[in-house]
Structure 1
């Protein structure tokens, strides 16, 4: 990280990834994809590796080009919706305090999931939902394309250079960087390539995120 990177001020808008950043749903995602893969005789580990970096339709095209994508998506949606209703998962430590401290209109969610599912998980974990949610249905290209983050900035009325992206995954980090935004990595032992700052946990990052957004940290 260069001194120039350290001096960057991302401004008052914060764009959060969801799964792996705010909500701990890794086991749930792996379980859902393993069930889907098993139904089609595919290797669950191979499928999940692709699913981590692509949207579902792109995953189906890569791992099962012989299958009907619409039928695959419908089956996956059923599995994921059932997981929202019955699966066990939690918000990462500090997420609730952080999101509730940010001013309305100053933050957004940018996810490769779907908004109704995010809302279901947030309702179960007690997290607030912002006005702007950019989901898989909102854009033609998913991460690592910059389009999801650029769409969120546009909806917030923010310039890309005034946005701070908070991510856990390399594809999301790449998307934020390609969008011309400041990107901080969280919830990983090592820093994803390219991040301007890295924190091993969301709780560690929370006071710094609030400071960057111009908000006093509420004892996080």
Structure 2
């Protein structure tokens, strides 16, 4: 990601929409532990497979592989159950919990490819507040990069997606935010390699805050140095 894009986006928004994994919490260790064991059992190349799991629904990941004799729905359920049971090492992205708690409850939502039970388990493990509006894998017929999840979250908040700021970390989620017509900011805390993007970026939430104006718009501001 280029230096010129490494700054909080300016502008006034109706709401903030957050992806979960890699965006407000870091579940990479747990997710890759579960998926790595699954990939090993199915004879996949773990190193090349694991980068493909992030941001997508489990059922979509398994379906995409088209493994002979493997039922994606059944396998996704097994993987989800294993992930619910294993929350070791799940932590917040720096400053995320405080930042989210500072937002009016009517001004934000979480939009995740995880099933609802897993999403709630992971947010609790990271001490992330569970929002009033939570859109999960079960709520949409097609996962990211389809924009339906972000369009649904905006609708539940009573705003237009084009007036929202989407916080994302993965290419499929960024594509979903773009397709929904929202402004996108990329959270880079969990990126181990540079990712090319024309969107602005933030590393974490430690140096930003939200400000609601008199017309009920919300802005992202940077803390003074």
TM-score, normalised relative to structure 2: 0.83
Shift of 1:191: 5.7
Residue 166 in 1 paired to residue 173 in 2?
Answer: no
Aligned to 1:198: 201
Structure 1 residues 105 and 182 mapped into 2: Cα distance closer, same or farther (>3 Å)? same
Q: Could you say what the CA RMSD is over the residues aligned between the two structures, in angstroms? A: 2.8
Aligned to 1:71: 74
TM-score, normalised relative to structure 1: 0.85
Residue 213 in 1 paired to residue 218 in 2?
Answer: yes
Tell me, in whole angstroms, the C-alpha distance in 2 between the residues paired with 1:19 and 1:164: 17
Shift of 1:88: 1.7
SS across alignment from 2:206: helix
Structure 1 residues 194 and 75 mapped into 2: Cα distance closer, same or farther (>3 Å)? same
Aligned to 2:51: 49
Shift of 1:111: 0.4
Q: How many residues align?
A: 212
| Residue of structure 2 aligned with 1:80, choices 77, 80, 83 | 83
Shift of 1:48: 1.9
Structure 1 residues 171 and 202 mapped into 2: Cα distance closer, same or farther (>3 Å)? farther
Tell me, in whole angstroms, the C-alpha distance in 1 between the residues paired with 2:28 and 2:131: 22
Shift of 1:51: 1.9
Shift of 1:74: 2.6
Aligned to 2:152: 151
Q: For structure 2, list consecutive stretches of 5 or more residues without a partner in the other structure.
A: none
Aligned to 1:28: 30
Aligned to 1:182: 183
Shift of 1:65: 2.8
Q: Could you give the per-residue CA deviations for residues 98-135 of structure 1, whole angstroms, max 9, x where no partner exists?
A: 00100011100000111211211222222211111111
Tell me, in whole angstroms, the C-alpha distance in 2 between the residues paired with 1:109 and 1:53: 13
Tell me if structure 2 keeps the 8 A contact 1:101–1:218.
no
Query: Of Structure 1 and Structure 2, which has the larger fraction of its residues in strand?
Result: 2
Shift of 1:193: 2.0
Shift of 1:154: 0.7
Residue 12 in 1 paired to residue 17 in 2?
Answer: no
Q: Which has the higher contact order (CA 8 A, sep 6+)?
A: 2
Q: For structure 1, list consecutive stretches of 5 or more residues without a partner in the other structure.
A: none
SS across alignment from 2:105: coil
Aligned to 2:143: 142
Shift of 1:218: 9.2
